[in-house]
Amino acid sequence: MLLTPSDAKVVTDRLLARSKANHCIVRLRGGERINLRFARGSATTNGDQSDLSVTVESHFGHRSGAASVSSLDEQALVSVVARSEEIARLAPENRELLPPVGPQTYPAGAGYDAATAAVRAERLAAVSKPVIDEAVSRAIDVAGYCMARRGFDAMATSAGQFAHDARTGAEFTVTARNKSGTWSGWAGRSNTRFDALDTASLGRRAIDKAAYTVPAVRLEPGKYTVILEASAVSDMVAWMMWWMNARDADEGRSVFSRRGGGNRIGEKLFQDGVTIFTDPGDPVAPERVFGDDGLPQRRTVWVEGGILRNLIYSRFWAQEKGREPIPRPSSFVMAGDTTTVDEMIRTTRRGVLVTRFWYMRLLDAQKLLVTGLTRDGNFLIEDGRIAAPALNFRFNESPLAVLANVLAIGPSERTRGGENEDSVVSAPPLLVKDFNFSSASEAI
């Protein structure tokens, strides 16, 4: 279910008026998602899912509790306020609990597209069909996912804050495999606008990669120069973004901890060209207009010219450290440069082109070492050209090492990671030296 700002305000006002707590925070979230899947060139599952949650957080002194329901019925709303107050009264005191924020000024959101909000299943099937047709004509199997969603977040506090943010999103991802199962390719994109997804072009890209007839070569594990396409870069940087919490760093349990105490803000950690930011007004990967604490999301530069500029500061930790709070972002933009993937290939004597990553998991928090695998489009580059498909690798590598070893940066584009559904990310392809492939994988 979706609510307009005025409808959401009516709901939050009614709930706040009913509250008997010292402080009260109301969060509304809802949306609708339509999707269609296909595999082996034929439709499999689909769905249109509507959802809604109404969460009431009550504070009594330093005690707090939250309750949620998925309904706007009067009885459910009366009950959710009562339930949150009941559990808040029973909760032990939390000395770090802060009163909710008051009125704020929010930036205009850039994440909603009315045409995307109106997409129906018929359209999903229509844009998938040319991809399936091309696969059939080239004797390749394709499996894909096409999705459009619309949703909203709203938040109001007893201190007078109210925020509403509407978002749309669209995704198309496709995996192509040859009939003998000996090679595969992938392409995928997400966007605020469904109309911006060129599904035929994405399908062709995946099929072109899968259609290589040269047998895949088996390379020895080791350190390689790699060209990481934007999807792979987005996954690698997303791991780092998740760990950019100032408190963990200050407490000595993060890769961003400084030996002896404090954190590494101000240190030059990465290559000069590395700049990462979030911005609610970014036209490609817009950040939400407000954070989970109700504060406005502002343009925040996390890394600038290779220097760590900011970490996430909760309201409590910011108060402790005498800084401005910085909410956790839900998106990021890694700034691009001008070197295209083709140019990166031309300048590489020996290396590996990586299409996407898979099953990335933390291996060692001390250095933010992450393991994962390459998948669906790994190629050996020799003497400035693609020489052959190359069997997949497992890697054990850190995003900090990757961003320190950057040799060239391509144009930043809205992309879609291997496992990060609904992500809002813009990232460039990267040419990186000394990437650590730790073992071979025969999986296709």
Partner 1 sequence: MDRRRFLQHAGCALCTPAADRLFFRVTDAAAAVAYENLDPAARLKLADMALDLARRAGASYADVRIGRTEHEFLRARDRRLEELTSNLTVGFGVRVLLDGSWGFAGSERVEEAEIQRVVGLAIENAKAARLIQAIPITLESVPAYREDWRTPIRIDPFSISTDVKASKLLTINETALTAGASYCTSLMSLVREEKLFASSRGSQIAQVRVRTAPYFEVTAVDRQSGRFASRASLAAPRGEGWEYIDQYDFLTEAALAVQEVQTKLGAKPVTPGRYDLVLDPTNLWLTIHESVGHSTELDRAVGWEANFAGTSFVTPEKLGTFQFGSPLMTVVADRSQAGGLSTVGFDDDGVRSIGAEFPIIKDGVFQNYQMAMGQAALIGRGQSNGCAYGDSPASFPIQRMPNISLQPNPKPTSLDDLIAGVENGIYIVGDGSFSIDQQRYNFQFSGQLFYEIKNGKRGDMLRDVAYQGRTPDFWNAMDGLGDASTYHLGGSLFCGKGQPQQIAPVSHGAVPARFRQINVLNTERMDF
Cβ proximity of 416 and 171 under 8 Å: yes
Q: Which window, 26-34, 236-244, 273-281, 333-341, contacts partner 1 (CB under 8 A)?
A: 26-34
Q: Which is nearer to partner 1, 245 or 412 (CB)?
A: 245
Work out how close the CB of 241 gets to partner 1 at its nearest, in angstroms, rounded to a whole number.
Answer: 19
Task: CB nearer to partner 1: give 65 or 327.
Answer: 65
The Cα–Cα gap between 243 and 248 comes to: 8
Q: Which of 9, 11, 200, 309 binds partner 1 (CB under 8 A)?
A: 11
Q: Which stretch binds partner 1 (CB under 8 A): 79-87, 273-281, 299-307, 321-329?
A: 79-87
Note whether 394 and 438 are within 8 A (CB). yes
What are φ and ψ of residue 279, in 5° steps? -155, 120
Of the candidate spans 116-124, 192-200, 336-344, 380-388, the one that interacts with partner 1 by CB under 8 A turns out to be 116-124
Q: How many CB atoms lie within 10 A of CB 72?
A: 16
Contact between 137 and partner 1 per CB under 8 A = no
Q: Is 7 in the site for partner 1 (CB under 8 A)?
A: yes
Q: Tell me whether residue 133 or residue 343 sits nearer to partner 1 (CB atom).
A: 133
The answer to the question of residue 390 lying near partner 1 (CB under 8 A) is: no
Size of the site for partner 1 (CB under 8 A): 126
| 4 interacts with partner 1 by CB under 8 A | yes
d(CA 260, CA 245): 18
Burial class from Cβ neighbours inside 10 Å (0-12, 13-18, 19+) for residue 317 reads buried
Question: Nearest approach, Cβ of 144 to partner 1 (angstroms)?
Answer: 6
Contacts of residue 406, defined as CB under 8 A and 6 or more positions apart, other chains included, come to 270, 271, 273, 274, 430, 431, 432
Which tokens is 211 given? 């259609």
Q: Which residues contact 292 (CB under 8 A, 6 or more apart)?
A: 327, 328
**H-type helices in 55-168, by residue range?**
74-90, 114-117, 121-137
- Does 322 sit near partner 1 (CB under 8 A)? no
* Residue 217 is a binding residue for partner 1 (CB under 8 A): no
Binding residue (CB under 8 A) for partner 1 from 26, 52, 101, 233: 52
Partners of residue 290 on adjacent β-strands: 296
**Residue 356 or residue 414: which is nearer to partner 1 going by CB?**
356
Q: Which of residues 269-288 bind partner 1 (CB under 8 A)?
A: none
Mask of contacts with partner 1, 415-444, x by CB under 8 A?
A: ------x----------------xxxxxxx
Q: Does residue number 328 form part of the binding site for partner 1 (CB under 8 A)?
A: no
Q: Read off the tokens for 323.
A: 């800084």
Considering the complex, state which of residue 96 and residue 382 has its C-beta at the smaller distance from partner 1: 96
Check residue 318 for interaction with partner 1 (CB under 8 A): no
Q: Which stretch binds partner 1 (CB under 8 A): 291-299, 303-311, 334-342, 397-405?
A: 397-405
Whole-angstrom distance, CA of residue 131 vs CA of residue 160:
51
Beta-bridge partner residues of 228 = 354, 430
Closer of 11 and 345 to partner 1 (Cβ) = 11
Q: Is 126 in the site for partner 1 (CB under 8 A)?
A: yes
Q: Is 192 one of the binding residues for partner 1 (CB under 8 A)?
A: no
For residue 200, which of 251, 134, 105 has the smallest C-alpha distance? 134
182 touches partner 1 by CB under 8 A:
no
Nearest to 47 by CA among 191, 141, 130, 145: 145
| Residue 334 tokens, joined | 């890694």
Q: Please report whether residue 260 would count as binding partner 1 according to CB under 8 A.
A: yes
Q: Does 108 bind partner 1 (CB under 8 A)?
A: no
Using DSSP's 3-state secondary structure scheme, residue 418 falls into coil
Q: Among 17, 118, 214, 217, which residue sits at the site for partner 1 (rule: CB under 8 A)?
A: 118
Place of tokens 């295209």: 340
Distance in angstroms (rounded) separating the CA atoms of residues 153 and 27: 7
Task: Assess 24 for contact with partner 1 (CB under 8 A).
Answer: no
**Chain residues 333-372 in contact with partner 1, contact rule CB under 8 A:** 358-367, 369, 371-372
- The 8-class DSSP code of residue 287 comes to P
For position 22 contacting partner 1 by CB under 8 A, the verdict is no
Any contact of residue 55 with partner 1 (CB under 8 A)?
yes
Closest-CA residue to 444 (of 179, 199, 102, 59): 179
Closest approach, Cβ 158 to partner 1, in A, equals 18
Candidates 51, 324, 342, 382; binder of partner 1 (CB under 8 A) is 51
Shortest separation between residue 31's beta carbon and partner 1, angstroms: 10
Q: Judging by DSSP bridges, how do beta strands 276-278 and 300-304 pair with one another?
A: antiparallel
